């Protein structure tokens, strides 16, 4: 072995060496339908105004550490209950990592739990924080298996349970009563984190219910609302609990340009909400068209993407790739997702291009 290989072997944890990188496909030259982004830019007049705001940003100084103005706008315009605040992260990924680090105990091995299949960062963040991850399989229709969840909570006593609402990659909303049962089962020994990344499309939320449950955290991101490029997530919880998470948050973790852009966007949040409404309508139309294709099963979605099952997901993805359409092959992620692909709902033109490419591939099965 070389010096560098020995160095890595002697210093980097074996589980980190064993895991692969989080893969992000190169979308150059493709219709990009793999990452659940809002395809619509801000209107020209708002882009010009935002440019002027960004030009005045103070780049030679650190951000204002408390992010007071941005937090106030989030709370006022995004439905955070009175008496509650938020902490900010570099997207929701950093918030998930903060939660994992804050709850990964040194006196015993902590457990972080989620229904699976789920957002992969739940398991990765648990691993990197030194906690054990326990995944509880969903039912075949992607609903929560509540008896299995409650049994797993009783057995493993998790510090954290992540519940994505709606879930990624399945797109469905779990039954709210089942989620409440999970929150209540955790009691004083576990935190329930409801990840509402797709709330702009689901239009339903546990945010107003924060006062009911002291062990509840509601986490969101501005990425799906149309601001994926600025990387801003936020989470709300009981003030005393939020204070503990804030101790783990790196100082100045949200940069000045993100802060300025987010404050500006929240001043015009009605524009982003109108775009979300357009995508919801497009989701309904796209699902109806897909359901007409032979051999295609479309699953209900409350997000800005659709999960569909095709006769052969590897073949379909290869054909779509050849047509310069980039989607996500979910077929090997979990046994429940056999031959499934996930596609972002986009503009009428891009949705049509996806449909044409997918339809052209189906007769060869």
179-213 pLDDT tens trace = 999 999 999 999 999 999 999 999 999 999 999 99
The arrangement of secondary structure in 3-43+270-364, i.e. its CATH architecture, is: Alpha-Beta Complex (3.90)
**CA 332/CA 335 separation, integer angstroms:** 7
The C-alpha atoms of residue 190 and residue 100 are separated, in whole angstroms, by 12
What whole-number distance in Å separates Cα of residue 99 and Cα of residue 248? 8
Question: Range with the lowest mean pLDDT among 56-65, 141-150, 241-250, 277-286?
Answer: 56-65
What share of the chain has pLDDT > 90, as a percent?
93
- What's the Rg (C-alpha) of the chain? 21
Collapse the DSSP code of 202 into the 3-class scheme (helix H, G, I; strand E, B; otherwise coil) and give the result. Answer: helix
Distance CA 122, CA 293 (A): 34
pLDDT, residue 364, reads 54
What residues are paired with 161 via a beta bridge?
113, 192
Q: Encoding tokens for residue 45? A: 């007049």
The pLDDT value recorded for residue 365 is 46
Please, are residues 283 and 251 in contact by the beta-carbon 8 Å criterion? no
Mean pLDDT of 30-37: 95
Expressed in angstroms, the distance from the first to the final Cα of the chain is 47
* Predicted pLDDT of residue 92: 96
Q: How far apart are CA 122 and CA 124, in angstroms?
A: 6
For the beta carbon of residue 199, count every other beta carbon within 10 angstroms.
25
Q: Single out the residue of 120, 65, 71 nearest to residue 97, CA to CA.
A: 120
Share of the chain above pLDDT 70, in %: 99
Please give the sequence-ordered ranges of beta strands (E in DSSP) within the chain, or none if there are none.
Answer: 31-32, 85-89, 111-116, 132-137, 160-164, 191-195, 216-221, 233-237, 297-298, 305-309, 325-326, 328-329, 340-344
Q: What is d(CA 94, CA 58) in angstroms, rounded to the nearest whole number?
A: 24
Cβ within 8 Å of residue 302, ≥6 positions away: 166, 171, 172, 173, 198, 201, 202, 204
**CB atoms < 10 A from the CB of 90, how many?**
18
pLDDT at 90: 96
**Per-domain residue ranges for the chain?**
3-43+270-364, 61-267
CB burial of 63-76 (b: ≥16 within 10 Å; e: otherwise) equals beeebeebbebbbe
Dump pLDDT digits (tens) for 343-360. 999 999 999 999 999 998
283: number of CA atoms within 13 Å, CB side? 25
Give the per-residue pLDDT at 105: 87
In this prediction, residues 149-177 reach a mean pLDDT of 98
3-class SS of residue 185:
helix
Which of 117, 180, 181 has its CA nearest to residue 143? Answer: 117
Angstrom distance (rounded) from CA 57 to CA 167: 36
Give dist(CA 301, CA 154) in Å, integer: 31
Q: Which two tokens stand for residue 305?
A: 């993407």
- The Cα–Cα gap between 287 and 297 comes to 10
Block residue for tokens 């972080």: 112
**Backbone phi, psi, residue 269, to 5°:** -65, -20
Confidence of residue 363 (pLDDT cuts 50, 70, 90): low
| pTM for the structure as a whole | 0.95
Q: What is the dotted CATH code of the domain comprising 61-267?
A: 3.40.640.10
Structure token pair of residue 362: 């189906």
Q: Model confidence over 305-337: pLDDT tens digits? A: 999 999 999 999 999 999 999 999 999 999 999
CA separation for the pair 337, 347 (Å, rounded): 26
């Amino acid at each position: 072995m070389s010096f560098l290989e020995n160095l890595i072997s002697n210093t980097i944890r074996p589980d980190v060496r064993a895991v692969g990188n989080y893969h992000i496909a190169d979308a150059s030259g493709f219709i990009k339908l793999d990452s659940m982004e809002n395809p619509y830019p801000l209107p020209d007049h708002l882009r010009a105004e935002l440019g002027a705001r960004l030009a005045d940003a103070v780049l030679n100084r650190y951000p204002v550490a408390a992010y007071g103005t941005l937090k106030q706008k989030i709370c006022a315009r995004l439905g955070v209950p009175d008496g509650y605040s938020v902490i900010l992260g570099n997207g929701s990924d950093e918030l998930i990592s903060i939660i994992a680090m804050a709850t990964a105990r040194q006196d015993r091995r902590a457990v972080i739990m989620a229904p699976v299949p789920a957002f992969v960062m739940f398991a990765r963040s648990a691993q990197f924080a030194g906690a054990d991850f326990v995944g509880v399989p969903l039912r075949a229709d992607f609903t929560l298996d509540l008896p299995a969840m409650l049994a797993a909570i009783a057995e493993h006593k998790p510090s954290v349970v992540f519940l994505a609402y709606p879930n990624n990659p399945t797109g469905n909303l779990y039954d709210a009563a089942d989620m409440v049962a999970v929150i209540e089962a955790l009691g004083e020994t576990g935190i329930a984190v409801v990840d509402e990344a797709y709330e702009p499309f689901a239009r339903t939320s546990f945010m107003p219910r924060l006062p009911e449950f002291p062990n509840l955290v509601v986490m969101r991101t501005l990425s799906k609302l149309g601001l994926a490029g600025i990387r801003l997530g936020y989470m709300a919880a009981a003030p005393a609990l939020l204070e503990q998470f804030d101790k783990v948050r790196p100082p100045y973790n949200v940069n000045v340009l993100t802060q300025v852009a987010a404050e500006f966007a929240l001043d015009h949040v009605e524009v982003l909400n109108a775009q979300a409404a357009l995508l919801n309508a497009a989701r309904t139309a796209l699902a109806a068209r897909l359901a007409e294709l032979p051999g295609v099963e479309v699953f209900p979605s409350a997000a800005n993407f659709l999960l569909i099952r095709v006769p052969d997901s590897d073949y379909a993805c290869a054909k779509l790739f050849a047509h310069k359409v980039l989607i996500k092959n979910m077929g090997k992620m979990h046994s429940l997702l056999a031959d499934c692909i996930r596609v972002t709902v986009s503009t009428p033109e891009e949705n049509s291009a996806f449909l044409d490419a997918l339809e052209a591939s189906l007769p060869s099965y």
